[in-house]
Amino acid sequence: MKSSQRLNEGTLPEGLLQTEAHNGRSLNQANFPKTVPILPLRGLVVYPHTVVPLNVGQPRSIRLLDSTDSQNGFIGLCASHDRERTMPGPEEIFRIGTIAAVHRQLRRQDNTVRMLVNGLNRFRIISFVTTEPFLVAEIEPLPEDIRSTTQTEAMSRNLVDMFMRLAEFVPSIPADLLTSSLSPENPLQLVYTIATYLQLDLSDAQKFLEFNSMAEKLGWLVRHIGKETEILEMGQRIRSEAFGQMEQAQREYFLREQLKAIQRELGEADEREVEAQHFRSKIDEADMPAEARQEAERELSRLTKLPVAAAEYGVVRTYLEWLVSLPWGQATPDNLDLQHARIVLDEDHHGLDEVKERIVEFLAVRRLRKGRQLDNTAESSYRPDRLGAILCFVGPPGVGKTSLGRSIARAMGRKFARISLGGMRDEAEIRGHRRTYIGALP
């Protein structure tokens, strides 16, 4: 909905919204003025059969009001094309407007005027007589087709019902309007009264004023109010659903807090909270790199939100156990003494000369790479990220593959860690696909 067409700077006096006959001012073909001063309005369209408050502050407009007091009291109200223009010229205002009578004026200390105008009839500008000290135009009346038919009578009654339905969603529509001014017996006053209280943008408000037939006006209002009511009803449903969800979430939160309080009183601890605290302390103790710590904290956050009975709970828990059990940041200096390595291998194993020779060659390469790192760390062929290496021992069970690995660790001064993969038939266990897919690990 656009900005309000009415200027709600104060409440209109009771009974002020009425026709020109009640105010003693009426126009017909005989007394319709030939020329009137034109007061351009910014972002506002005033309709016949309505009384609207206006604020006037431009010097040109105040001079117009001073002149109107000494003449017949009629002014022409026309909306300007651009609401940002403070002093629009003849080419910048709409040619169809409303002739109105000025009823009350209140001059303020800031040199502005607050007034009430009563819209009487539509008119069309023929030409402008003068532009100084204010706009004066030659006008002609613009009659309206107010013939009543069965269709227009039915549309009028339907319009009243629809507008009263809309008023339930719009608090700015006064309650006395619904009981005093919405009479299908006077369809012209009915449509203009309703249009005044609708929040229309300038183009729609001007288009409505320019409709000539009552059927056009009624049909346009019925469609517009129907669409506006549908939007407001949908908005109310969305708000109700949102409030309902908020209330449900608050209720669940309150019950959980109550349950925690009861468990504390009974000396019982929430299983999830205990495990979360355990993993949180383990993550703090582990010297993880930033990327690994971020992933661990993300998984811990998931764990605290999952029910203990959920299938994913066990998967996340196992993954966290893997993360915190890894020796992050723990390292031992390598002993690359080839003679010492040969002694250790000979002490632990008899025979296997080819295997021992291959292990010593491997350690020699490691020693050479370490020396190159000390001599020239900027050499392009040196890649620190390739310092690690993998030795693969192939053979049936019991030939000494694991014991050779233990001997290599003892020779290099490293801690030996054994991860048994016996019986595995799928590389998914090592690659981690079992966690990527359903129940995947690690």
Q: Which domains does the chain carry?
A: 20-141 (2.30.130.40), 144-268 (1.20.58.1480), 271-325 (no CATH), 338-375+387-414 (3.40.50.300)
Question: 123: which strand partners?
Answer: 97, 141
Alpha helices for 81-122 (secondary structure H): none
* Model pLDDT, residue 13: 35
The mean per-residue pLDDT over the stretch 305-309 comes to 74
Look at residue 258 and give its three-state secondary structure. Answer: helix
Phi-psi region of 390 (alpha: psi -120 to 50; beta: other; left: phi over 0): beta
Read off the pLDDT of residues 201-221 as tens digits, 9 standing for 90 and up.
Answer: 888 888 988 888 888 888 888
Q: Residue 46 and residue 195: Cα distance in Å, rounded?
A: 10
* Model pLDDT, residue 343: 82
Query: What's the DSSP call for residue 345?
Result: H
The mean per-residue pLDDT over the stretch 253-267 comes to 73
* Model pLDDT, residue 123: 92
Q: Residue 321 and residue 343: Cα distance in Å, rounded?
A: 38
Using alpha carbons, list the distances in angstroms from residue 408 to 367, 385, 421: 14, 22, 20
Q: Is the model's pLDDT at 1 over the cut of 70?
A: no
Q: Is the model's pLDDT at 375 over the cut of 50?
A: no
* Model pLDDT, residue 26: 60
* Model pLDDT, residue 23: 44
Read off the pLDDT of residues 378-436 as tens digits, 9 standing for 90 and up.
Answer: 444 445 555 567 778 888 887 778 888 888 888 887 888 777 776 666 666 666 655 55
Backbone angles phi, psi at 255, to 5 degrees: -65, -40
CB 99 within 8 A of CB 75: yes
Using alpha carbons, list the distances in angstroms from residue 119 to 17, 144, 211, 249, 287: 10, 14, 16, 53, 80
* Model pLDDT, residue 441: 53
* Model pLDDT, residue 176: 63
Read off the pLDDT of residues 69-110 as tens digits, 9 standing for 90 and up.
Answer: 545 678 899 998 887 787 888 888 899 999 988 888 888 877
Q: Is the model's pLDDT at 357 over the cut of 70?
A: yes
